[in-house]
Structure 1
């Protein structure tokens, strides 16, 4: 039997502009864009000797695509610190990679228009495969200076412990 939503009044899907990203138990400041979560499972084709010319299909390996995080450049060094754990140029022999803690689990939280938590996804064993400290500089542009990291991950899952909230309703004051 199908389960119905707690909030049967909500018709609109959630928007994509209210979100936060957390790692090491802290929210990361200023993230303005998070790439989509995508996984792909390979198709393994096979056929039995007695089958006519049709094939059977079964699932193979599942790959999780990297996720990109973007934000405006500030004095916050969280992106750079994490990227340096994977490769720290000039740190000396045996200290280029922080093998103990270069991977992190992260959480992406999505909020509704009222600022209530509505969805959360946990990404596992992430590490920085690409770090852009700043975008191109252009004296003729009128834009924010952006940095980004690309996070490889070994899988993600939705946090089903995040319940659908009771959305607020405003009532008119009585006269």
Structure 2
């Protein structure tokens, strides 16, 4: 289902969050189930001008990219752990990561976030519980040095 071009004042359905794919170094990694924490923050540096003591002004300061958490179901694959282990041993493997949001049908990208020079900085496992039948999830937290947003090739909601 393709979303029509929006008319001024016309309703446009928001995108859904369940159809996405994750690419690391342009290779699709389909085993991730959730991505959270993606963000950027620009510090505000406050100052006062001489002669205007009543007003505090602000200018942009340091830009910080917030760590992103990638969730995935535990399998026999050690790919995520191996990537983290390279960091632990001092051989940081920086990779370009893209998160592509897909339309409802899953056939076209509607937007893409590109994270540059990403590397893993934390790994966690969910609790093991003998009374549960849930899927065991692991999370991999990645730090990155840049974030860009690209419009996708297709529209959709």
Q: What is the TM-score with the length of structure 1 in the denominator?
A: 0.78
**Between Structure 1 and Structure 2, whose CA radius of gyration is higher?**
1
Is contact 1:18-1:112 (8 Å) kept? yes
Number of the residue aligned with 1:171: none
Number of the residue aligned with 2:60: 59
Pairs within 5 Å for 1:115-134: 115=106, 116-132=108-124, 134=125
CA deviation after TM superposition for structure 1 residue 36, in Å: 3.5
Match status 1:163 vs 2:145 = no
Q: What is the TM-score with the length of structure 2 in the denominator?
A: 0.87
Count the aligned residue pairs: 150
Is contact 2:26-2:98 (8 Å) kept? no
Match status 1:135 vs 2:126 = yes
Which 5+ residue runs of structure 2 have no aligned equivalent?
A: none
CA deviation after TM superposition for structure 1 residue 119, in Å: 0.8
**TM superposition outliers: structure 1 runs of 4+ over 3 Å:** none
Q: 2:105 and 2:37 mapped to 1: Cα distance?
A: 23
CA deviation after TM superposition for structure 1 residue 57, in Å: 1.0
Which 5+ residue runs of structure 1 have no aligned equivalent?
A: 88-95, 168-175
**What do you get for the CA RMSD once the two structures are aligned?**
1.9
CA deviation after TM superposition for structure 1 residue 6, in Å: 6.1
Pairs within 5 Å for 1:1-175: 7-8=5-6, 11-87=12-88, 96-99=89-92, 102-115=93-106, 116-132=108-124, 134-160=125-151, 162-165=152-155
